[in-house]
Structure 1
């Protein structure tokens, strides 16, 4: 009897000791809860609840490296806590003033060999960010990461809103992956991704009726690769590294960094509704600037001929027409796309740039990222990938007063490619140049990390509307996804807002736009990027409704505040943004039936607003509307239609 009692007491003490090693922490308001647990031989896991409801089941932590295996047999040895309360200003994201409050938990782990690894968690009211830190391992001062065990295990009732990671070295001139695949909405977790390579960040999950989770990453720079999610295995998604074939096989799949050092941040945004998803700033909250700038970069609107007039428009005379269009619209920039070095030439470009400046329009120039990892012939090529040539080119642009570059066709997430992104940004800032990326990866906190970064495509963008009618037919569906997924974690250089009915040079052929003009105006508010290359054309000055032109003349591109009002991914969205003291409310409808809206926005209580809506023939109309004292709105938005209120 005494022996049995001693055994029972011993087991109880061991259980209590094990429990003591587990740790829980909530965000500042107590609703979001993180739990880190010792799982015995399987290692250490984390789980997440919100308002007591399970949002992420027990999920693995750890990684395999060349200096030690931290993927299994990990133990939670000790932990430390701290509070974070910071503010920062950033004019290139969805809100210009950010107050970040979070509770920090640092978990110190040990593997079977006694080697140390720590995981830092930061838990705010709706966000969790975490990353690994490795100390120096004796005389070893560097590490190569073979794989991460990091996982995200969702409850069975979860459905997904995901974009598949494409095969490498496919698509136009073998330039993929470039984050331009098609989403599936409300798909089951057990459905295999289109190409079998998992899914690109960000990834949106609906956890039954309990809430929503957005998974992404931030803080990726030259010291790591870009990652994505694997296909699910019984609801468990894991961090996946790039494919060996990316960038024509150049560069390693396994990232490496010096010790002590840290990985990028993995992020989860959690909410009972979609509001925290749309309004999150976690991608920027946990990163820091990589360098300071001495330049004062100016953001704004731009015209570009290529989107409707394509390659043949890159000639001197057509570019003059788009410079004149920019001047007429009061826009700050013109983007001169591929082939300018061949069709116009460096000498005449000096004249063209001088002409633009005489019209108070500044210039962005297009470049290919490289030529040795794809088959691109659009020029200039083989300049941005070579440090010596790149700096010579940038000195030439700086001398002429060029304000920025658009660098295209990247095709990979390897560390070597991330290093080139950073090198281009750093050298460009030395020469006072802003940078836009196309055919590229997702930006991961880059708005705060790099002062001259202004946007990335990384989405099925406007050019696809030109290429196939299929994408015009699905334009509204995709537009109702981006504010919830792609655009919520980073600037999105979409290049949209068409006023042509037919998407070609003559407005008389090619793809047929199915959405209304007011829908197009609404996307100028819904899609956020500090420099917007709008898809307007010179003919719009005479064939587009004047109320649309007047709206596009005064639309801002930077925002001080963003508020989600209501919506559902792929169906509809109502969003408010503030620029200075002026509010813009935008709504679009992707459903087959009219959308009857009834909501309140107290900030406009008792105000008189300009209301842009579709009439019965889907033509734009502008009316003055008095908002009720409680800020109540009531409106019907037609299928493929939109509405915008401005105060």
Structure 2
């Protein structure tokens, strides 16, 4: 009996040992609420942690590295997994002042993986999986009086070899006009191999779009606080493995910080991957879901809107009182909320006349926005006013002065890159502007990364090769159509984008490739808290009354957005709702005609009008439209053309 008991015990022990790897494997995985997405975390014999991602059992990311190298300790190898938390359900409800969706509910499964090296230094990796994607970030627990430095982040995104990429190169630091790069203002490389290197040593900027079999992946980051630099993807991606990279050495302001540094405890930004169909990608709100909630304060004064703007077509000579009065009248006539007065206003107009213009605008229900140079020693830009944003005291003094004059907001230009000191500068400006009741728009700048949630007074950021570049060079105009058809799938997915769209008339010395209806469609397709329109007052008068009426009617605050059809760089069709009004817009990113049958079943029974391109060049056509019960709506697009439906 004793021998039998020992034998059975040994069998049981052996079975237990045999079962443990499976149990451990299950402990290391986490799935999305709908179970369509799964992350597997692993650690190899060398103590290197990794993760992989599947969507409906199809590989999206092959084993990809985790970990960081700090100056004081290496937390990328020789690690032990010391704990795995239970799955915790995360719920978050919030409302945005502007964007593609107003009320948002975020739901995700959270799991925390705890690692430790031989010296007892700790690092946690926090994963959150929602139905539309994967997010993770690092946490360094404990408390320290001394500052810790991260020299390298070992995070990678390992795409299968046959995946394709749509990526924007990052410009070299201090290159370009007056050493103003990088400003996220390059054209995208489309449908390239994931092994193709960036043409610049600086790498690739976010968001980065990939196609993996039946799935699409959009890689970005969110929750970027003042104690971390902005990151990007490194130049080389051997066999499709992209590594998180830090800014170049010159991307600092004054003698400030470049790479991440902070006392403990310390969270990194979120690494964000929206995963699924193009509909999933374009409708995802992960970029703001993972951003920090709004700072404390009353933001009832923040009002999104539309703006007239003279500079983009008429340039510096337009910054004079008579022209700005004309554009204020233009904004008033169109029912737009704002008029932007650009660079050199303090020299060519002056504070006293700006106050007069602000009063003049107020009588016409228009508020003014003023341009500033971020200044400092990080570039050689000559444009003024400058040096007023450099310290909190100087900023608050200037914000108080212009606020008392009736100015609603500022546009601040020419920042110094992605180093931590520059990121801290953005945060400081936004906090001071919020305190002063000033709305903010950044140009020549980095990607917002969800800051519009944290700072509701952040209306927009450029971070794109926008309309001004089309006016500078015919080469930009030649590729603008496909470039614009990329943006709803990349740059504008999560964050407001100040492209400054809609040039309906001719641009001096430039042959515009887009049709008029293409340009009109971008007023809905592109999302920005303040939409600065490129079309001039004189130009608008030359277009049919129904075009002017729809430009009066298009809002910038959207309650809901729905992907209808499209492919990056080739076609983009989106529907957006404001209240009970729907707008459906589309652009053809190719120089060939297209016949589409749109699925508008969610709009069946609604009626309104559609504006498309006429038969002659630069002509228009308007027709009545009713969405049938089948929801199928046929439409033909001219080469480089577009349409706008108002329901």
Matches within 5 A, 1:289-438: 289-295=293-299, 296-438=301-443
Distance 1:632 1:321, change over 3 A: same
Contact 2:355/2:406 (8 A) holds in 1: no
Aligned to 1:546: 545
1:31 aligns with 2:30: no
Aligned to 2:180: 175
Q: CA deviation at 1:90?
A: 1.2
Contact 1:496/1:533 (8 A) holds in 2: yes
Distance 1:370 1:249, change over 3 A: closer
Contact 1:160/1:204 (8 A) holds in 2: yes
Secondary structure of 1:144's counterpart equals strand
Q: CA deviation at 1:247?
A: 4.0
Distance 1:51 1:537, change over 3 A: same
Residue-by-residue CA offset, 1:470-522 (whole Å, 9 max, x unaligned)? 1111121011000000000210011111111x213xxxxx1121211111111
Aligned to 1:613: 612
When structure 1 is superposed on structure 2, of 438-447 and 188-197 the one drifting more is 188-197
Q: Distance in 1 between matches of 2:302 and 2:238?
A: 46
Q: CA deviation at 1:14?
A: 8.5
Residue-by-residue CA offset, 1:452-483 (whole Å, 9 max, x unaligned)? 11110000111001001111111210110000
Q: Distance in 1 between matches of 2:202 and 2:15?
A: 45
Matches within 5 A, 1:186-197: 186-197=191-202
Contact 1:517/1:548 (8 A) holds in 2: no
Contact 1:522/1:586 (8 A) holds in 2: yes
TM-score (ref. length: structure 1)? 0.95
Contact 1:398/1:433 (8 A) holds in 2: yes
Q: Distance in 1 between matches of 2:450 and 2:580?
A: 27
Aligned to 2:66: 61
**Structure 2: stretches of 5+ with no match in the other structure:** 1-9
After superposing on structure 2, the runs of 4+ consecutive aligned residues of structure 1 that deviate more than 4 Å are: 9-12
Q: CA deviation at 1:169?
A: 0.5
Residue-by-residue CA offset, 1:205-262 (whole Å, 9 max, x unaligned)? 111x321101000011211111001121221111111110224774232211221120
Q: Distance in 1 between matches of 2:135 and 2:541?
A: 50
Secondary structure of 1:278's counterpart equals helix
In the alignment of these two chains, the number of paired residues is 632
Secondary structure of 1:181's counterpart equals coil
Secondary structure of 2:365's counterpart equals coil
1:583 aligns with 2:582: yes
Aligned to 2:233: 229
Secondary structure of 1:543's counterpart equals coil
Pairwise CA RMSD of aligned residues?
Answer: 1.8
Aligned to 1:219: 223
TM-score (ref. length: structure 2)? 0.95
Secondary structure of 1:122's counterpart equals strand
Matches within 5 A, 1:63-212: 63-80=68-85, 81-136=87-142, 142-207=147-212, 209-212=213-216
When structure 1 is superposed on structure 2, of 303-312 and 624-633 the one drifting more is 624-633
Q: Distance in 2 between matches of 1:431 and 1:300?
A: 19
Q: Distance in 2 between matches of 1:482 and 1:281?
A: 15
Q: Distance in 1 between matches of 2:528 and 2:287?
A: 15
Distance 1:210 1:76, change over 3 A: farther
Aligned to 1:3: none
Contact 2:555/2:578 (8 A) holds in 1: yes
1:244 aligns with 2:249: yes
Aligned to 1:283: 287
**Structure 1: stretches of 5+ with no match in the other structure:** 1-5, 505-509
Residue-by-residue CA offset, 1:331-384 (whole Å, 9 max, x unaligned)? 110000000011111122111111111221101000011132110110001111
Distance 1:215 1:11, change over 3 A: farther
